[in-house]
Amino acid sequence: MSQTIQILPDHVANQIAAGEVIQRPASVVKELIENAVDAGASAIQVHVVDAGRTSIQVMDNGLGMSAEDARVCFERHATSKLQTAADLSALATKGFRGEALASIAAIAHVEVTTCQNGADVGTLIRCCGSEVILEEPRARSMGTTFHVKNLFYNVPARRNFLKSDAVEMRHVVDEFQRVAFAHPDIAFSLTHQGNSLFQLKPGTLRQRIVGILGPKHDERLVPVQEETDVVTISGFVGKPDSARKTRGEQFLFVNGRFVKHGLLHRAVLRAYEGLIKEGNHPLYALYLAVDPARIDVNIHPTKVEVKFEEEQPMIAILKSAVKRGLGAHNVAPTIDFDAEVGLNIPDLKPGMEVHEPALTINPNYNPFETTLSKPSSAEEKSRSNSRLSNSALNQARGGWSKPDATGWQELYQVLGPEDKMPANASSAPNTDEMLVSEKLDSEGLEILQWRGKYLFVPVKQGVAVVHIRRAHVRILFERYMGRFRAGEVKPVVSQKLLIPEDVTLTRPEVMALADARESLLEMGMDLSKVDDQTIQLRAVPTDMTSCVREALDIVLETYHDGLWTDLEARQVRWAKAWAQRAAVKGHASMPLEARRHLVSDLWACDHPNVDPDGKTILSIWAAEDLENPFC
């Protein structure tokens, strides 16, 4: 019988392993930088060309390798960081599986030049598709240089699935920042196409945070320090007023390794309860030191997830430490007991007349009367302004009188700026007026607004009840999305800012906005790049002029949620979020013309029945159902 199970060749096995370890150029940068850190380097340089597709070069001044080690390092599961299985429970290094270099060599052209301290000459090894094609002596100072060229050259399907250079470079910057955050004592530099993006000098953790995120963050940092038998916590959190609606400035490290842990993140958020608005995200760079025997870092191929042996106590300690740090630096509001308390009486200006306060009472008021006397003209005016009838006053003051029935027909009148009662109109109700709706405009649509939340619109089937806010969200959403449709006749109106607003962001965020500038311009937002960490907002959609920064935060939230690479998905996300933010809120009354415009715009929508979240906008009450109670 023929054998069907076969052992894969090494180069095929390496390419399969590369699918898990090397997902994009940023994965190569991460692995090579971490190797340089483990080698004891004090300075690491990263040079990238075409976002890593063409070239990635990582240079360090670490311990270097011998000629034998340089040759063996490209073999599968070759590592200097593990000797026995027991070493897995006491890991103190970043890379330990021995798969990274073998995986990189299987899908790229790799050249390594290395030299140990005291060696007369270094070694050059050149690999192509897991095969060593060149080995020769090469002069070099102590340290190692890895040069990775033509990534995924022999896996065209993987290369075709890479995103644009701007997207891939943002991932490279993210990985670079994470390692640089974890090691403030090491000098890091990053260049792209020969342009310097980062030049980070060795220093304190605070200096490293400011060097990466920008100088404006220096005054926003609050130190956190806690030491227990379970965990030692150090680092910084941001002041509550620096919290943003978008994520991206949250960095959590465990034993010098960047990790993502939802429970620990929520613990930090709970420490800010009552200090920041719901939905905002504070800045933090927190470092947890845990006994390696009490943590498992080998549960994910990219090692960004960890499992703790004592998870719940650690969550409680982290929350308490952050709260204590915020309180110790007077972040919480305090009461000034020395403040002078008194009446704030405005100064008397020249020509100002001073009147003695007067108290107006109604001498005819009697809470036990069932029929109130006819009010005077002054009282009528006062009642009109306050819209509170005497019967309502009776009930509010505990009277047992029957509610006044007059004025009930006002419920069925549509209020508008043109609706005014004639001066000689009788106060007595007219039966015909109660049974027949008032004609506001013979050529217009009669629309009633009820409770400031709904519109009653006559339609052929009966009456349509429209939810005002949801209708407005649908109209704005389709208006924003309409910019991407050919032949759109109602474009988004852009409002230029009188004073352009400069916004300081992280370098990846600035790169993301620069990449999406054309898409944002189509939707009414005009921005330009000032420098590596600043953008300038020059125009926003007219509906968003009152919340300029929130409009930008909505855009950045899409970037941090991973929807940036899908153009259509991010445009839908922007349009939906902007529409929800700009739509009418509360229960404000609308003039008649505004109601008509809203209904007209809703009828013109492609999907007038539901809002972008799928919630019902209108409900039709059939004419038969309205007439049945009177049959």
Q: What is the CATH classification number for the domain harbouring 583?
A: 3.30.1370.100
Strand 232-238 vs strand 448-450: parallel, antiparallel, or unpaired? unpaired
118 part of a folded domain: yes
520 and 458 housed in the same domain: yes
Q: How many CB atoms lie within 10 A of CB 567?
A: 12
Q: What is the pLDDT of residue 54?
A: 93
Last residue of some domain: 277, 303, 328?
328
**Is residue 171 within 8 Å of residue 23, measured between CB atoms?**
no
The number of distinct structural domains making up the chain is 3
Does residue 222 share a domain with residue 159?
no
Tell me whether residue 336 is in a domain.
no
What does the block give as tokens for 308? 């703790």
Q: Which is it for strands 43-49 and 55-60: parallel, antiparallel or unpaired?
A: antiparallel
**Rounded-to-integer distance, Cα 218 and Cα 237, Å:** 11
**In contact, 11 and 131? CB cutoff 8 Å:** yes
CB 289 within 8 A of CB 231: yes
In a domain, 406, yes or no: no
Same domain, 190 and 231: no
Specify whether the backbone of 614 is left (phi greater than 0), alpha (psi in -120 to 50) or beta: left
Here the CATH number for the domain that contains residue 290 is 3.30.230.10
pLDDT of residue 55: 94
Looking at the structure, tell me whether residues 187 and 43 fall in a common domain: yes
Is there a single domain that holds both residue 515 and residue 577? yes
Domain housing 451: 414-419+441-631
Q: Is residue 304, in this structure, part of any structural domain at all?
A: yes
Cα-to-chain-centroid distance, residue 97: 35
Query: Does residue 98 share a domain with residue 226?
Result: no
Helix, strand, or coil here: 91? coil
Q: Are residues 183 and 303 in the same domain?
A: no
pLDDT at 419: 42
Q: From CA 387, how far away is CA 426, in angstroms rounded?
A: 19
**50 and 169 belong to one structural domain:** yes
pLDDT at position 612 is 84
In a shared domain, residues 189 and 216? no
Residue 221 maps to a domain: yes
Looking at the domain assignment, is residue 429 inside a domain?
no
Is 232 buried (19+), middle (13-18) or exposed (0-12) by CB count in 10 A?
A: middle
Is there a domain that residue 620 lies in?
Answer: yes
Question: Is residue 572 domain-resident?
Answer: yes
Q: Rounded to two decimals, what is the model's pTM?
A: 0.63
Q: Are residues 619 and 520 in the same domain?
A: yes
User: Which DSSP helix (H) or strand (E) runs through 592?
Assistant: helix 592-603
Q: Indicate if 555 and 614 belong to the same structural domain.
A: yes
Integer Cα distance of 603 and 610 in angstroms: 12
Which of 282, 302, 328 is the last residue in one of the domains? 328
CA distances from 272 to 245, 265, 267, 277, 402 (A): 14, 11, 9, 9, 52
Give the C-alpha separation, 94 to 97, whole Å. 9
Residue that terminates a domain, selected from 279, 301, 328: 328
Best CA proximity match to 466, nearest among 630, 318, 605: 605
List the chain residues with pLDDT less than 50.
Answer: 83, 87, 332-344, 371-443, 486-487, 489
Using alpha carbons, select from 453, 446, 462, 405 the residue that is nearest to residue 429: 405
CATH number at residue 87: 3.30.565.10
Shared domain for 575 and 627, answered yes or no, is: yes
